[in-house]
Structure 1
Amino acid sequence: MGKKIMKFVVGFLIGGLCIALVFGGAHFFYSKEVGKKAKNTTTSSVVSKKVTNTATKEIAKEETKDSKDATSESSDESVSKLTNKTLEKDIEALNQSAGNVAYSIYFTGTDKEISNHNNEQMVSASVIKVFIMDYLYQQSVQGQLDLSEVTSGESLDSLIRRMIQSSDNEATNSLIDYVGMDKLNQYFASAGYTQTTVQRKMLDTNAQAQGLENYTSLNDTMTFLKKCLTYQTESPYSEMLTVMKGQQINTKIRRLIPEGVQVANKTGELGGVDNDIGIIFSDHPVIISVLTNNGQSPETVRQAISQLSLDAYELSIDK
């Protein structure tokens, strides 16, 4: 009886120990798996947060970049509109000032030209004088002419300066007589000034009454000015620019340009005609040619040309 009780007790203890081991092991493995899952969940959450934050930052960067780009584009567009609006206003005033207008503004800094491309022949008035000067200087460079030679009691060089700088008509007529209209017109054609022609001397009202006139065009004047600027350090263009910089008539292109800014230009005026062509020397020189026929009034046309020239100059300088 005692032995049976002892076996029972021992068996009971061994069974309890086995049960404890089984449940304890199960709990250990369960806890370990739960811990792993918890750790994985935490890691996943951290990674998710990192990804989310990174994506948010990238989106923010893109939005900032897009915002800056949009601001930049908006700024560029505003400047462009301001530029166009300024010149459009000037051009509108110019167009309203005369019945027939030809204009061109060439910005050397941007290589852009604003023009109405009106290339019909226009009454040149005294603008014809730059082409006469061109002929004489070209002949001098080629050794065909000595500008120190005297005609009408004055040297050719002196007559040229008076013809350009004070627009002296008597000096011009002396030079036309010296060269001859036929030679001048032949040279104009050969030099590419195909719409420039001399048909009468200055102040020849009889010739005017017969329908004879002096003509030039937007293309011819711009061609001449561009040659002068392109070859400004070479003869004879350097000499011609020096003469034109001494211009004494300041009613149009020069009128509003700040003092100290060099301008090489030539004006032309007749009844109903107000012309001016020239180069404004700035950080980036501007070439301007304006030819007008059938003007409303000299002052209205001159003011329009002056304002256009000033605004073109302002747009050409580095600010």
Structure 2
Amino acid sequence: MFLFQSPAKPIWRQTWLRFCVMSGSLAGLAALVLPQLPASWSKTLRAQVAAQPTLISSALPPGSDAVPNVVAEPRPAPIDSVVRPYLAMSQLSYSLTEHVLAKHQAAVRYKQAVAIAQQALNLRQQGNSVELKRQEIALWQDAVSALGTIPSDTPEYVQAQAKIKEYSTIATVVNRYLERQQSAFLKPIAAAGGNGSAVRIGLCQLGTTECRSFQGNVPPVSLASLVKLPLAVALMHQVTNAKASLDELIYIDPANFTENAQGAKIFVEKTYTLREVMVRMITESNNIATNQLIDYMGYDAINAALKAEGFTGTSVGHKLVGSKTFPKTMGAGLNRSTADELTQMMMRIYSFTKDSDEEILNALVGQYDLDFGYRALVKEKPNIFWIGEKTGQNSRVIGSTVAFKVGDERYVMTVTIDKSKSQGRLRQIIRDVARHVLDHGPLDQSSTAPKIARNF
């Protein structure tokens, strides 16, 4: 034991040190080792000594500053006081080791991230196929993840943050290129039979993040009755947040009268439940019901609800007009959305993201107007099945957002054509897109794996 091999010391000090160590005193251990430890270790052990409640004031011989107090009377030490000094030393050693390792790991992770990024760049030399681009995006994302684990108190942190921004930007650019590449098949479909620049297409596979788009982020010149889908989403937001009840009775104001499709059953100066008004707005494409719902919620609440649901490119600004009769308060804003956002609304509804989505889905399945998507797909059975739809048409646009099934997979698609009344062309685009999915397989190729494997 090094205590008894140290240079000769006064008898009183040797005896005292031996006694303290043998009795398990933290003070004794500190007096022995503090002068030989680095400053940071000494500071920690001094704090431990100062915290001992069993120490009392007792001066050391003049000139000794190792420990300010010593034990007044020797007495048997409990087990924890014997172990405590060694635990303190172990904890201090562990803390210092962890700090050193953290700095080392930060440097290693930074180098790994840079190496991964270089692998991503090397992939570009191999070609521009879809699979290679997917691998490249995955590598950029891995590099960003590695950089994100670097602690803020390490020298590499500032560089890591700069690299995160750089690599994230590159990943976004490559992802957009991949999306355009994967969506290229939509361009000839849109151009067939007319002006392709007037067409907007959004397509997504349910249960995945895979979507395809042709001008899907460009708003059509008008929403026509397609605005009824966002209105239903906004209403269900209010219901979910206890700001409305579907069982509430509402009065149909004569000021909201306009022409409706034949067979529509909402009449002015009558009272209906909020649920019936919403359902008939969808199933009958009922204009009077639409106008009353706009009054019921108000434009500000509608648009706030849509933003809260994540549909920032969609807004409601005016009521609907039938053949010629305007409601008394028309509104001065725009009804605006995109094929991509309408498709995302359908994705959410058909995925049952919220309990209230079932109310809208039931209305979509009961759509009375079957001239667009339904007629486009009905002859494609048993390979393609129509599931549900919301249509829209006026003098400025024709369109439909439709759900359908190919094999075991479900899809939603929105198609609009500006300045067109051609139902035949709209049906052909819907049919051609669905057939492409049938012929080339799911958008998410991993969905071709056996169902049990996918669930696992």
Q: TM-score range by the shorter chain?
A: 0.5 to 0.7
Q: Does 1:255 align with 2:375?
A: yes
Say if 2:428 is the partner of 1:304: yes
Q: 2:409 aligns with which of 274, 284, 287?
A: 284
Q: For residue 344 of structure 2, what is the aligned residue in structure 1?
A: 223
Structure 1 distance, partners of 2:365, 2:330, is 34
Are 2:415 and 2:426, in contact at CA under 8 Å, matched by a contact in 1?
A: no
Secondary structure, counterpart of 1:286 in structure 2: strand
How far apart are the structure 2 equivalents of 1:299 and 1:262?
A: 17
Query: 2: CA distance between counterparts of 1:210 and 1:128?
Result: 14
**1:192-211 correspondence to structure 2 within 5 Å:** 192-203=310-321
C-alpha spacing 1:312/1:137, structure 2 compared with 1 (3 Å): farther
* CA drift at 1:166: 1.1
Pair 1:102-2:200 in alignment: yes
Residues 14-73 of structure 1, C-alpha deviation per residue, up to 9 Å, x if partnerless? xxxxxxxxxxxxxxxxxxxxxxxxxxxxxxxxxxxxxxxxxxxxxxxxxxxxxxxxxxxx
Q: 1:276 & 1:150 partners in 2: Cα distance? A: 30
Task: Tell whether the 8 Å contact from 2:199 to 2:215 is kept in structure 1 after alignment.
Answer: no
Following superposition, the deviation at residue 192 of structure 1 comes to: 1.9
Q: Answer yes or no: is the 8 Å Cα contact 1:272–1:298 preserved in 2.
A: no
Asked if 2 retains the 8 angstrom alpha-carbon contact of 1:195 and 1:217, the reply is: yes
Decide whether the 8 Å contact of 1:97 with 1:304 is kept in 2: no
SS at match of 2:198: strand
- For the 8 Å contact 1:101–1:293, the answer to whether it is kept is yes
Report how far residue 159 of structure 1 moved: 0.7
Deviation, 1:235, is: 0.5
Contact 1:126 1:268 in 2 (8 A): yes
Q: Quick check: 1:126–1:269 contact (8 Å CA) kept in 2?
A: yes
Tell me the SS of whatever aligns to 1:102.
Answer: strand
SS in 2 for 1:215: coil
1-side partners of 2:188 and 2:245: how far apart?
47
Report how far residue 284 of structure 1 moved: 0.3
Cα distance in structure 2, aligned partners of 1:129 and 1:138: 14
Partner of 1:268: 392
Q: Distance in 2 between matches of 1:144 and 1:109?
A: 30
Q: Which of residues 224, 232, 236 in structure 2 aligns to 1:125?
A: 224
Alpha-carbon distance, 1:286 to partner: 1.3
Q: Which residue of 2 aligns with 1:181?
A: 299
Q: Take 1:190 and 1:131, find their aligned partners in 2: how far apart are those partners?
A: 12
Letter in 1 for 2:409: H
Offset of 1:127 from its aligned partner? 1.0
Using the TM superposition, name which of 117-126 and 97-106 deviates more. Answer: 97-106
Give the unaligned 5+ runs of structure 1: 1-83
What is the identity, as a one-letter code, of the residue corresponding to 2:368? Q
Evaluate the alpha carbon distance shift between residue 86 and residue 131 of structure 1 in structure 2; reply closer, same or farther with a 3 A threshold.
closer
**Once the two structures are superposed, what CA deviation does each residue of 1:157-177 show, in whole Å capped at 9, x if it has no partner?**
001111001101011111111
Partner of residue 280, structure 2 = 162
Structure 1 residue 108: Cα displacement: 4.4
Q: Where does residue 245 of structure 1 map in the other structure?
A: 365
Q: Distance in 1 between matches of 2:329 and 2:200?
A: 22
Higher relative contact order (CA 8 A, sep 6+): 1
2:227 aligned partner, one-letter code: I
Determine the structure 2 residue equivalent to 1:14. Answer: none
- Which protein is richer in helix relative to its size? 1
Task: Report how far residue 117 of structure 1 moved.
Answer: 3.8
Give the conservation status (yes or no) of the 8 Å contact 2:189–2:433: no
Q: Residues 184 and 97 from structure 1, CA distance in 2 versus in 1: closer, same or farther, beyond 3 angstroms?
A: same
- The Cα of 1:257 is off from its aligned counterpart by 2.0
5 Å matches for 1:44-59?
A: none
What residue in structure 2 maps to residue 92 of structure 1? 191
CA shift for structure 1 position 131: 1.1
Look at both structures and tell me which one has the larger radius of gyration over its CA atoms.
Answer: 1
Question: Is contact 2:404–2:412 with CA below 8 Å preserved after alignment?
Answer: yes
In structure 1, give the amino acid aligned to 2:371: T
The 5 A counterparts of 1:8-157 are 90-93=189-192, 96=194, 100-108=198-206, 112-122=210-220, 123-151=222-250, 152=252, 153-157=271-275
Counterparts of 1:286 and 1:168, CA distance in 2: 26
Task: Give the superposition deviation at 1:129.
Answer: 0.7
Alpha-carbon distance between aligned partners in 2 of 1:159 and 1:210, rounded to the nearest angstrom: 20
* CA gap 1:90/1:191 in 2 versus in 1, 3 angstroms: same
Equivalent residues of 1:199, 1:214 under 8 A apart: yes
SS at match of 1:254: helix
Computed over aligned residues only, the root mean square deviation of the Cα atoms, in angstroms, reads 3.3
State whether residues 190 and 199 of structure 2, in contact with CA within 8 Å, keep that contact through their aligned partners in structure 1: no
Separation in 1, partners of 2:386, 2:224: 24
CA contact 1:221–1:289 (8 Å) conserved in 2? yes
1:199 Cα deviation (Å)? 1.5
Q: What does residue 356 of structure 2 align with?
A: 236
In 1, are the aligned partners of 2:343 and 2:414 still within 8 Å (CA)?
yes
- Alpha carbons of structure 1 residues 119 and 111: separation in structure 2 relative to 1, 3 Å: closer
